[in-house]
Amino acid sequence: MNYVLPELETLEPVEGEKATLTLPDGRQVDLPVLRGTHGPKVVDVQKLYRDTGYFTYDPGFMSTASCDSSITYIDGERGILLHRGYPIEELAAKASFIEVCYLLLYGKLPDAGELAAFDDSITHHTLVHEKLKTFLNGYRRDAHPMAVMVGTVGALSAFYHEETDVTDPEERDLATHRIIAKMATICAMASNYAIGQPFVYPQNDLDYAANFLHMCFSVPTERMQVTLVQARAMNRFLVLHADHEQNASAATVRIAGSSQANPYACVAAGIASLWGPAHGGANEAVLKMLEEIGTRDNILMFLKRAKDKTDPFRLMGFGHRVYKNYDPRARVLRDSCHEVLDELDKRDEPVFALAMELERIALEDDYFVSRKLFPNVDFYSGIMLRAMGFPTEMFPPLFALGRTVGWISQWHEMIQSPNQRIDRPRQRYTGAPIRNYVPLEQR
Ligand code: CMC
C-alpha cells in the first residue's frame, strides 16, 4: 500500500523578489529573496557587509540558512522529514539502509544493478587495516566508546591520506564507500572493546544491519543468529538516523570540510559534535535518566523537576529544536521498539515498563502538551537498543553509525557546490576596548 503524501506547498522561483532593510542611518538596502523547493523563503544577506558595513547576528542559527541543500527537508511544525523528496515513513518501511545510503549520496533510488554494485563495494570495504587494532588497543579499558570512535575514525585519515584528493570525484567516492563500510566495523570494535570481547570480523553473506549485529554480538566460539525482527529493527534504526539536514554534527562536518580537510578527519569532527547530550548523546541520557528515576513512584517527582526552571534536570528524550510536532522518526521507531520488546519478551522488565509509564504520563501532562514536547527518536532508540543488549554508552556510537552517510553526503554536496568557500562565521565583539599592555609589576 502506498503511503499518502502530506500536502506540501511547492515554491516557484520568482525573478527579482527583494526584501528592503532600513538601517539606523536611514540607508535602505534591497536584499534578494530566494526560494527553495519547500519551506521558508530566505533573505540573501551575503553582500550585506560589503554594501553596508553591517553583519547579521544569529547565535545558534535560529533564522539562518548556511547553505543550499537538496538532500533532506524537514517541516518541524508538521512533523515531516523527506530524504531526496521521499518521506521517512516510506523509506523506513520499505528500503534497506544501503538503498537509503545510495539515495542520500547520489540523489536517486538505485536500480537493481546500481544497488548490487554499491552493496558489493560497501561489503568489500568493511575490513579495516590490521594496524588499526593496535591503535584501538591503546585506549584505557573503560574509555567511552564515543572517545574511541572519535580517535579511531580520525586515525583512518592517517591510513588513507595520500589517496584522498578531495578535488577528485573518484577519490571522493572511494573515501565515501570506505567510510560507510568501515564505520560499522569500527563501531562494533568499540562495542567489543568496551566489554572486553575479541573483535569479530565482518561476514560478507550478511546485509549491512545484520552484519553489524553479528560483529557486535558474535564471539569467535559462537556466531549470533540474527533474527528477522532484530535485523529489521537495526535496519530501521540506521535508516531513521541517516540524515537530518543542518544539525550541529552535519554543520561541523561541513565546516571542517570547507577547508578541504581529509574526509575521515571531518567525520571524526562530526562524531565529536554528535557526542553531547543535547544531540546524539540523548539516547544514552534517556537510559541514565530512567535508571535515576528508578521506580514508577518517582515519576511525578521527576516530572516536577523537569518543569522547574531553577532545576537543570530535563526530561531526556523529549522535545526537539526543529520538531514542534511529533518527531516522525519517533513514531516509526516506537513500533520497532515494541516489536523488539515483544520478541525478546522484555516488555515487563522494570526499566522498560517504567519508560512506557513515563511516556504515558508525560503525554497527558499540560506542561509537555502545551509546549509540544513529545518523545523524540532518542527516547525509543534508547529503550530499543538496551533491549537488544547494547551497553548504554554504545548508543551515541550507533547514532554516529547511522548518521555517517548523512555527514558524508553533506560533505560531497558542500565540496561540489559552486558557492563553496571556507566557512568563516562573523561575531559581535563584546570584549575589552583597545588598551595598552600592562607590565607585570604594575598589575
Ligand atoms: N524537559 C523539560 N522541559 C523542556 C524540555 C525537556 N526535555 N525540552 C524543552 N523544554 C522546555 C523549555 O525549558 C522551554 O520552556 P519555556 O517555554 O517555559 O521556557 C520550552 O520547553 C521550549 O523549549 P526550547 O528551549 O525552545 O527547546 P530547544 O529547541 O532550545 O531545545 C532540545 C531542544 C532538544 C535541546 C531540548 O528539548 C532538550 O534538551 N531535550 C532533551 C534532550 C534530548 O532529548 N535531545 C535529543 C534531541 S533529538 C536528537 C537529534 O535530532 O539530534
Query: Tens digit of pLDDT per residue, the chain (443 long)?
Result: 678 898 899 988 888 999 999 999 999 999 999 999 999 999 999 999 999 999 999 999 999 999 999 999 999 989 999 999 999 999 999 999 999 999 999 999 999 999 999 999 999 999 999 999 988 999 998 999 999 999 999 999 998 877 788 999 999 999 999 999 999 999 999 999 999 999 999 999 999 999 999 999 999 999 988 888 899 999 999 999 999 999 999 999 999 999 999 999 999 999 999 998 888 888 888 999 999 999 999 999 999 999 999 999 999 999 988 888 888 999 899 988 988 999 988 888 888 889 999 999 999 999 999 999 999 998 999 889 999 999 999 999 999 999 999 999 999 999 999 988 999 999 999 999 999 999 999 99
336 near 237, Cβ under 8 Å? yes
Ligand 1, pocket residues at CB < 6 Å:
244, 247, 278-280, 282, 306, 314-321, 371, 373, 376, 378
Say how many Å lie between the CA of residue 110 and the centre of ligand 1.
37
SS3 33: strand
Q: How far is the CA of 307 from the centre of ligand 1 (A)?
A: 11
Instruction: Map residue 59 onto helix, strand or coil.
Output: helix
* Global confidence as pTM: 0.92
Give me ligand 1 centre to Cα 318, in Å: 7
Q: Compute the distance from residue 79 Cα to the ligand 1 centre, in Å.
A: 16
Per-residue buried b or exposed e for 3-25, using 16+ beta carbons within 10 Å of the residue's own CB: eeeeeeeeeeeeeeeeeebeeee
Task: Work out the burial of residue 344: count CB atoms within 10 Å of its CB; fewer than 13 is exposed, 13-18 middle, 19 or more buried.
Answer: middle
Residue nearest to atom 50 of ligand 1 (CA): 279
Residues ≥6 apart with Cβ < 8 Å to 204: 123, 124, 126, 211
User: How far is residue 273's CA from residue 249's CA, in Å, rounded to a whole number?
Assistant: 5
Residues assigned a catalytic role: 320, 378
Tell which one of 320, 333, 407 to mutate to probe ligand 1, the residue whose CB is within 8 A of the most ligand atoms.
320
Residue with cell 558595513: 53
Return the bridge partners of 72, or none. 83
Instruction: Report which secondary-structure segment, H or E, holds 133.
Output: helix 131-136
Residue type, 440: L
